[in-house]
């Protein structure tokens, strides 16, 4: 594996494989790798003869300076793990390389960014994500890019972005990888105290409870939400949000009658965590809703 620091080095390295028409897969990350990241790399390795992993803690998507400063970083371990998985190129540019002096452009995706994470973290968060991902697509020119379902709204934003701007890249969304007790893997989990680490398992239980309610025939999102909130309350967790939304648009649902997502964000101790659970309603008994 080669570690590349500049856009010029990256373009040079990819010139030959691109000329030969070899499929280039990109996995954008902010590092501090866990099995979630590694699952995306494995998938890319399986699908593509050329795998590029980007490692860049993007300052413009952080709405909280403390969160950026405290973001876990372990570049040497990351490089070793990526090399072990057979990644071809680790692209790890500096902040100045990505945002040189005079940088003045923002890519801003509308609508799907207005709720949930966009509402709680502010407009700048998804603007930062959309801008850096657009830049990475232009730098790497991947045929396919891999993202995690863990960041469900981000996945919707990126799919919207490539459609709206006609960016010629296929987007693959990979399933959320979890700890054995259900907690979604996240670089931020290392900040949880032992007691909060246990409390944090309530997030996945809460989402599962909402899904179970729908599986049992509940079509009213308020009722499914109440079941999930009760599960969180047992762990004394009050979420920033907990909603049942359309899986395509992240818009709130009046009735769960199509593919949905139960999504939540919550602070556990000082650590803000997000998670989600896909919900596929089937028509069953106990359907109290109107048609
Ligand atoms: P991050 O480094 O947190 O920006 O994440 C890089 C990529 O890994 C994003 O596409 C995330 O959605 C994905 N990712 C993060 N955590 C997980 C997880 N537990 N399972 C699957 N993908 C994940």
Taking the C-alpha atoms of residue 219 and residue 109, their distance in angstroms, rounded to an integer, is 30
Instruction: Give the active site residues.
Output: 37
pTM of the model: 0.96
Q: Which 8-state DSSP code applies to residue 71?
A: S
Taking the C-alpha atoms of residue 197 and residue 199, their distance in angstroms, rounded to an integer, is 6
Residue 153 Cβ inside 6 Å of ligand 1? The answer reads: no
Residue 151 Cβ inside 6 Å of ligand 1? The answer reads: yes
Taking the C-alpha atoms of residue 214 and residue 247, their distance in angstroms, rounded to an integer, is 15
Residue 176 Cβ inside 6 Å of ligand 1? The answer reads: yes
| CA-nearest residue, atom 6 of ligand 1 | 29
Residue 283: what pLDDT?
A: 59
Rounded to the nearest 10°, the torsion over CA 144, 12, 165, 23 is: -20
Q: Are 178 and 275 in contact (CB under 8 A)?
A: no
Ligand 1 atom index nearest CA of 151: 12
Pocket test for ligand 1, best of 25, 29, 30, 54 (most atoms within 8 A of CB): 29
Residue 36 Cβ inside 6 Å of ligand 1? The answer reads: yes
The tens place of each residue's pLDDT in the chain, 291 residues long, gives: 999 999 999 999 999 999 999 999 999 999 999 999 999 999 999 999 999 999 999 999 999 999 999 999 999 999 999 999 999 999 999 999 999 999 999 999 999 999 999 999 999 999 999 999 999 999 999 999 999 999 999 999 999 999 999 999 999 999 999 999 999 999 999 999 999 999 999 999 999 999 999 999 999 999 999 999 999 999 999 999 999 999 999 999 999 999 999 999 999 999 999 999 999 988 554 444 444
Residue 147 Cβ inside 6 Å of ligand 1? The answer reads: yes
Residues 6 or more apart in contact with residue 103 via CB below 8 angstroms: none
Residue 286: what pLDDT?
A: 45
Distance from Cα 183 to the centre of ligand 1, integer Å: 13
| CA-nearest residue, atom 17 of ligand 1 | 36
């Amino acid at each position: 594996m080669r570690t590349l620091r500049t856009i010029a080095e990256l373009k040079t390295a990819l010139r030959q494989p691109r000329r030969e028409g070899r499929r280039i897969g990109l996995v954008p990350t902010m590092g501090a790798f866990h099995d979630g990241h590694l699952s995306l790399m494995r998938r890319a390795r399986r699908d593509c003869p050329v795998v590029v992993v980007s490692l860049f803690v993007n300052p413009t998507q952080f709405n909280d300076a403390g969160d950026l400063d405290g973001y876990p970083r372990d570049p040497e371990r990351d490089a070793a793990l990526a090399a072990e998985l057979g990644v071809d190129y680790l692209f790890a540019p500096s902040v100045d390389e990505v945002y040189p002096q005079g940088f003045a452009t923002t890519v801003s995706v509308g609508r799907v960014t207005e709720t949930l994470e966009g509402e709680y973290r502010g407009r700048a968060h998804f603007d930062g994500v959309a801008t850096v991902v657009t830049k990475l697509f232009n730098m790497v020119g991947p045929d396919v890019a891999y993202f995690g379902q863990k960041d469900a709204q981000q996945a919707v934003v990126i799919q919207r972005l490539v459609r709206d701007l006609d960016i010629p890249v296929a987007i693959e969304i990979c399933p959320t990888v979890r700890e054995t007790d259900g907690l979604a893997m996240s670089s931020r989990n290392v900040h949880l105290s032992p007691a909060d680490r246990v409390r944090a398992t309530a997030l996945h239980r809460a989402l599962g409870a909402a899904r179970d309610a729908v599986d049992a025939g509940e079509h009213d999102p308020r009722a499914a939400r109440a079941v999930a909130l009760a599960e969180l309350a047992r762990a004394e967790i009050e979420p920033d949000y907990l909603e049942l939304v359309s899986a395509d648009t992240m818009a709130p649902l009046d009735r769960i009658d199509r593919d949905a997502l139960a999504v939540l964000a919550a602070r556990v101790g000082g650590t803000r965590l997000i998670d989600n659970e896909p919900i596929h309603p089937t028509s069953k008994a106990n359907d109290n809703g109107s048609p």
